[in-house]
Amino acid sequence: MKKWVYSLLALLFISVAFFDTEIMAAQDEIAIRTVVEETYLLSDDYVTPLASLAPRAIVILHNVHAGWAHIEYKGQQGYVPSVTLKSAQPTLMLASAKNPPIVRETTEGQTKHLGNVPIDSIVQAYATNEENWYFVQYGHLTGYIIATALKAPTSQKMLVQKQEGLVVRNIASKSGANLTSIPTNTKVDVYTNIQGWAYVVTEKNIQGYVLANGLKEIPIPKLGKYSQGTVTKTKRIALTFDDGPHPTVTAQVLKTLEKYDAKATFFVTGHRVNKSPKVLKEIYEAGHEIGNHTWSHPKLTTVSFEQAKAQINETNKTVESIIGQEPTLFRPPYGAYNKEILGSLSVPLIMWSVDTLDWQHRTPSKTLKAVQTGAYNGSIILMHDIHQTTADALDSILSYLTKQGYEFVTVSELITPIK
């Protein structure tokens, strides 16, 4: 950079110094920033260059005053225009080397060793503009670690069980700084367990180390017999309809159910609810049960856990905005789920015991035949209220089951023991 640019920077400092600007300093946490445009680290005179900073260089911010940021970069401290910096976003990484990874002051050979990160600990890692190196933070220890010493961690859902909650610290030690606390019964994602300490992240992005003995696994609902129906002493059966609501097909289904004084359970998709809110309200007001069938019907085991949760949560919110309450059950599209999805649910997960395959053959007589051959006391029958052929088959199905002496109940009524 040419001398006139240095002079311009100095003039900028002098001009903005007349304005009353707030000083921003790092408090409990180290403020990490990334360089957004090429600049120079200047000495206290705001003219003499100390180092060249390329885009994506990671720096430690000490404070900002009058448009200038006091920063630290590879052991050197100086100033850059604050507009050349922005907050850097870290990624959680696991120290996975054979020996505790060395934290270095720079990425050059024979550089100063600042300390070591314990094996199996979690660090906040920042991508740099230097290949094969991360800038990391572990408590108050910051510096560079070779990329091969880190790997992406896996997580497990757990629950805070301590009545008084858990103290969150910046390192896996009681000597670590007290960052905050997490209340009892809070769900957390656990990324590692090291010498009795667990690194956790909450939904509100509170993160750090807590005592591992203050956590417990989230109880998984014991749904077994309920998920695919339950044998009952009386002739009770649950009719279920997936993928709706549909503006015309669902309306016909509702009329037929009313004719036989039958109650059913509708596992709705959020995107269809969004298009036909009036139909959803009609289902609910007719006394039928509403279940969640995700927003857009993806196979949940093929998307990330966060995407799966979003599919469920968005549907819950949309349904609640229309009928005043969230769905009381959940059915995964294609019947695909895993332990993580199941553990995150606050309502029962419901499968089926009789699959009519109405979506496949689209033939009313075949739908009826599937019910006739498969129905039993306590069974859950799967159909879809988006196909006209299913609506056309329903009258015959209800007529047959009525003659067999069945009572039509919602899924929740079916799986709740009669007192």
Q: Which residues are catalytic?
A: 242, 384
DSSP-assigned letters across all residues of 364-383:
HHHHHHHHHHH--TT-EEEE
| Structure token pair of residue 52 | 């060249």
Instruction: Say which residue the tokens 């103290």 belong to.
Output: 167
| CB atoms closer than 10 angstroms to residue 195 | 10
Two tokens, residue 319: 């349904």
Residue 409 three-state SS = coil
What's the rounded Cα separation, in Å, for the pair 183 and 188? 11
Evaluate the CA torsion angle 51, 56, 62, 63 in order and state its sign: positive
Please return the burial class of 233, using the count of CB atoms within 10 Å of its CB with bins 0-12, 13-18 and 19+.
exposed
Answer for the pair 144, 104: CB distance below 8 angstroms, yes or no. yes
Which residue from 305, 302, 301, 325 is spatially nearest to 315, judged by alpha carbons? 325
Give the DSSP H/E element, type plus range, for residue 135.
Answer: strand 133-138
What are all long-range contacts of 163-169, with beta carbons under 8 Å and residues at least 24 apart?
Answer: 166/210, 166/211, 166/214, 166/215, 167/210, 167/211, 168/200, 168/206, 168/207, 168/208, 168/209, 168/210, 169/208, 169/209, 169/210
- Do residues 215 and 159 touch, judged by C-beta distance below 8 A? yes
The C-alpha atoms of residue 199 and residue 398 are separated, in whole angstroms, by 54
The phi and psi torsions of 161 (rounded to 5 degrees) equal: -105, -15
Q: What's the Cα-to-Cα distance from 243 to each of 74, 250, 266, 297, rounded to whole Å?
A: 57, 10, 8, 8
